[in-house]
Structure 1
Amino acid sequence: MIKVVITGSNGLLGQSLLSLLLSEKDKYEVIGFSKGENRSGRNDFLYISIDITDETLLKEKLVEIQPNFIINTAAMTNVDACENNKIACNTLNVDVVKWLAEVSDRINAHLIHLSTDFIFDGKKGYYKETDQANPLSYYGLSKLKSEEIILKSNIKYTILRTILVYGKVFDMSRSNIVLWVKEMLESKKEITIVDDQYRMPTYVEDLALACKISMDKKAIGIYNISSSQLLSVYEIAQQIADVFHLDKSLIKSIATSTLNQTAPRPPKTGFDLTKTNKELEFYPKSFKEDLLKFKENLA
């Protein structure tokens, strides 16, 4: 049996991973770490209510459990909130990763950690794993620091960088771009969307699968995980309207400069997926194909 601890098991990726790994109960023993009550709607795994920002408690529990893999899906990802509350951001996105790396070293666990396209400044797009990072926001900086901690350690690790994750799980604490656009248009509300930021959105089920593949292959290194096509956020919203047969005329385009966001965003990210295709044998699809699959799953 492969023993896996998922931090942030109540989150979008956490719950998706639970579903995926628990479908192979003969192979994986899954333990979920999250704050508060178990929100996954499942009780067929060991759930531990824990504040992972408590270093002593976090390390004690992991030493007790002795997992083969730790998948760290817990993070503070609200970009403006990170800018406004750097201490909280640093604790969850940097300190916790340092502790996870320390305990992984001690118990010989393989750490799978999620990172982001926001470590880049977005000047060029289609970033390779080896491209020079230059974060514009504190969120991006915190995720870059967490990567550096892992790279300097002696542990077995996989870092999966991803972009704009969307999907739906049992009990969600926050929305995501696809659900938000869909809900607004279903309510016949006009929305304004930036047309000068470019992204490759990631379906959460693909990201969960990439985590599982990384475990099964014991992949070491950094990998890019996203859909395969670079789109403006405005085009993303238009495709959501198309797939769900909603009124596109309600979507109005605006420039980022008119938004007054606290933290700057990289204008153009997106990933080169060559290494992911080759080493993980993982072949992401276009946003539209993923959306159609998501729509099917919603039904």
Structure 2
Amino acid sequence: MRKGRGSEGGRGVEMAESKRVLVVGGSGYLGQHLLDGLLAADSGTHYDVAFTYHRPTPPAELVDALPSLIPFRVDLRTGDGFDSISNGFAKPHVIVNCAALSIPRECEDDPAAAMANNLPTSLINWLSSFEDNNTLLLQLSTDQVYEGMKSFYKEEDETAPVNVYGKSKVGAELFISSHCSNFAILRSSIIYGPQAVSPVAKSLPVQWIDSVLSRGAAVQFFHDEFRCPVYVKDVVNVILALTRKWISGDEQMKLILNVGGPDRLSRVQMAETVASYRGYNHSLIKSISASSVNRGVVSPADISMDISKLKQVLGISPVSFRDGVRLTLETDA
């Protein structure tokens, strides 16, 4: 028998039951990859997995490919739909919140919508309705909580976002820290990787670079905006590791982790990596300054992150961008 948690019991009780994981925003890009990873996990623990979606119906391709999933339609702004989870799934042992309005320009254009979507008020209120506080909340945050004035930010560095998207995510972090007994906040950089089971409409970074360079025309990329792009399977592995750690352990969890790849890269360097893998002419890549383009939103210059804490706490070393590009394009092919 292994240690676990009952839906109403305390920590450390001997249980043989399945563990319930709820992925909020499971129909999105990361959410779909995570759902696949949870059902394929070989950890000795069986996961009953549910997910929320906001569109009228869940993605057909996702439900067909992973028929054991339990979908729930939820409006995160109002909280409508959470009662159906209580009745049809019960209290989760782990909740992963992937839902967000994450396009900085859209957040800048509609700050009220950004705050309403990105502050998980209704989710926390629902979680607080249960008698016990023994659910772990894993919250996806962003590298854009940092100001962008230096390289390799650490988790303890000040959060000073320069745009509405970053401010909404800082607000979410503070809200969770003050209202949740157990949580892990994952500050992710640009997430890239293969297309999801049910293809998402948004442009995926590596696929977009590959597409524009394949046309043989010159394309402009920023040389002075730095990120630590992270392979989607590595983000999934981080979440799976934290889930296992929570289910098997007895201690509280209050954790903030930078979740980025090992490489500090400009957009030019990202494009050069794709070009090298595909054999495209590097002369197609035209280097320009981010300051020369008005994107309608302030974008931090350098929000590269130090991921030594991630390696220390979980023993996970994300793949290099070069290897991630190869895995992405090989998988999509």
What TM-score results when the alignment is normalised by the length of structure 1?
A: 0.94
Match of 2:29 in 1: 12
- 1:169 pairs with 2:196: yes
Match of 1:53 in 2: 77
Match of 1:264 among 258, 277, 298: 298
Contact 1:111–1:157 under 8 Å retained in 2: yes
Match of 2:128 among 89, 101, 105: 105
**2:124 is matched by which residue type in structure 1?**
A
Segments of 5+ residues of structure 2 without an aligned counterpart are 1-17, 247-252
Give the 5 Å matches for 1:81-92.
Answer: 81-92=106-117
Distance 2:236 2:19 in 1: 16
> 1:53: Cα distance to partner?
2.1
Match of 2:221 among 184, 193, 203: 193
Distance 2:205 2:180 in 1: 37
**1:147 is matched by which residue type in structure 2?**
E
**1:250 is matched by which residue type in structure 2?**
L
Contact 1:12–1:172 under 8 Å retained in 2: yes
SS at match of 1:265: coil
Give the 5 Å matches for 1:104-253.
Answer: 104-107=127-130, 108=133, 109-167=135-193, 168-170=195-197, 171-218=199-246, 220-253=254-287
> 1:223: Cα distance to partner?
0.7
**Alignment deviations for residues 66-85 of structure 1 (CA, whole Å, 9 cap, x no partner):** 11111100101110110001
Distance 1:221 1:13 in 2: 20
Distance 2:213 2:267 in 1: 16
SS at match of 1:3: strand
Contact 2:78–2:122 under 8 Å retained in 1: no
Identity value in percent = 27
Distance 2:203 2:74 in 1: 23
Higher gyration radius (CA)? 2
What TM-score results when the alignment is normalised by the length of structure 2?
A: 0.84
Distance 1:21 1:189 in 2: 41
SS at match of 1:90: helix
Distance 2:122 2:72 in 1: 18
- 1:292 pairs with 2:312: no
Q: How many pairs are equivalent?
A: 296
SS at match of 2:77: coil
Distance 1:58 1:123 in 2: 41
Contact 1:119–1:135 under 8 Å retained in 2: yes
> 1:248: Cα distance to partner?
2.4
> 1:269: Cα distance to partner?
1.0
- 1:67 pairs with 2:92: yes
SS at match of 1:217: helix
Distance 2:182 2:127 in 1: 8
**2:72 is matched by which residue type in structure 1?**
I
> 1:62: Cα distance to partner?
4.0
Higher mean C-alpha deviation, range 228-237 or range 164-173: 164-173
**1:86 is matched by which residue type in structure 2?**
P
Distance 1:17 1:270 in 2: 24
Distance 2:74 2:201 in 1: 17
Higher mean C-alpha deviation, range 287-296 or range 110-119: 287-296
Contact 2:72–2:81 under 8 Å retained in 1: no
**1:126 is matched by which residue type in structure 2?**
F
Residues 190 and 52 from structure 1, CA distance in 2 versus in 1: closer, same or farther, beyond 3 angstroms? same
SS at match of 1:135: coil
Higher mean C-alpha deviation, range 281-290 or range 198-207: 281-290
Distance 2:154 2:190 in 1: 17
**Alignment deviations for residues 32-70 of structure 1 (CA, whole Å, 9 cap, x no partner):** 111223222523311123322222x24423433311111
Contact 2:77–2:122 under 8 Å retained in 1: no
Match of 2:58 in 1: 38
> 1:229: Cα distance to partner?
1.3
SS at match of 1:125: coil
